[in-house]
Amino acid sequence: MGKTIIKVNNLRKKFDNVEVLTGITEDIDEGEVVVVIGPSGSGKSTFLRCLNLLETPDGGEVIIDGDQINLPGTDVDRLRRKMGMVFQHFNLFPHLTVLENITLAPEKVNGLTAEEAKKKAMDLLERVGLTEKANEYPASLSGGQKQRIAIARALAMDPEIMLFDEPTSALDPEMVGEVLDVMKKLAKHGMTMVVVTHEMGFAREVGTRLLFIDEGKVLEKGTPNEVLNEPKQERTKAFLSKVLI
């Protein structure tokens, strides 16, 4: 394993008066695929969204590649460029074609020429197997295709870390596989990934480490084998007994 790339210290987050994260401390190394599981409302998505500051933590620190992201005065945009994010509901830009969705940020943020950005986008589309959709609008794609495009869009910024927020939860069952395949390939290429998911098969196969979050805390962690097959906490056992059928 490489150096620590994400460092989270005593992360806290409240929504109104409800404590969603009650103190999470976790280091994530380069090349790790950390899979975050837990019941809904446990705070796992909030944890992920705090990493790139889509949610502002109420306490603690999030350090990305040596820079604390939740400090006033930090260039958040610069740190966000190191992290690609994939959302449950894809969030493709409906007014842009697939190609434009992918080239937008590299052109506007990284200053690539239209030609460079297009070449890069076509390479990425090939990786996710959707070159023929380059000039279509998102509305004409299936859910699985949308999510693969969303992954390509995030990768176009050459991120060092990829964050996945329940990437397959909004998909029809027959489309889950195609998205997981893309993610598996990504993991194999050594991408650092933090994945919030309910796909235990993916967790087992690809995850280097599992975090079980409940009530805003990391209740249990370890290799997929340790957490899924030999859980120590009662709550983990109860949760797994419901999802591992």
Partner 1 sequence: MSEWWAGVVDTFERCFVNEGRYMLLVNGIGVTIKVSLLAMVIGVIIGFLIALCNLSDKKPLNVIGKVYTDVIRGTPSVTQLMIIYFVVFATINWSKWIIAAIAFGINSGAYVSEIIRAGIMSIDKGQTEAGRSLGLSAKQTMMLIIVPQAVKNIFPAFGNEFITLIKETAIVGYVGLMDIQKAGDFIKSATYQAFMPLVGTAIIYFVLIKILTVALGKYEKRLRRSEIR
**Rounded least distance, CB 146 to partner 1, Å:** 12
Among 36, 85, 125, 193, binds partner 1 (CB under 8 A): 85
Residue 132 in contact with residue 124, Cβ under 8 Å? no
Beta-carbon contacts of 16 under 8 Å, excluding residues fewer than 6 positions away, are: none
Helix axis angle for 114-127 and 98-108, nearest 10°, is 130
Q: CA-based diameter of the chain, in Å? A: 55
Per-residue binder mask for partner 1 (CB under 8 A), 107-146, x = binder: -xx--------------------------xx-xx------
CA separation for the pair 168, 144 (Å, rounded) = 8
- Stretch near partner 1 under the rule CB under 8 A, chosen from 104-112, 127-135, 205-213, 229-237: 104-112
- Stretch near partner 1 under the rule CB under 8 A, chosen from 64-72, 150-158, 205-213, 226-234: 150-158
Among 157, 161, 206, 213, binds partner 1 (CB under 8 A): 157
**Rounded least distance, CB 205 to partner 1, Å:** 26
- For 234, the 3-state DSSP assignment is helix
Q: Considering beta carbons, is residue 136 or 215 the nearer one to partner 1?
A: 136
Per-residue binder mask for partner 1 (CB under 8 A), 202-231, x = binder: ------------------------------
CA distances from 84 to 21, 49, 136 (A): 22, 12, 23
Intra-chain end-to-end CA distance of the chain, in Å: 33
Which value, in Å, is the radius of gyration of the alpha carbons in the chain?
A: 18
**Rounded least distance, CB 49 to partner 1, Å:** 8
Residue 170 sits in the site that holds partner 1 (CB under 8 A): no
Residue 24 CB coordination number (10 Å): 24
Residues within the interface to partner 1 (CB under 8 A): 52, 54, 77-78, 80-81, 83-85, 87, 89, 91-95, 104-105, 108-109, 136-137, 139-140, 150, 153-154, 157
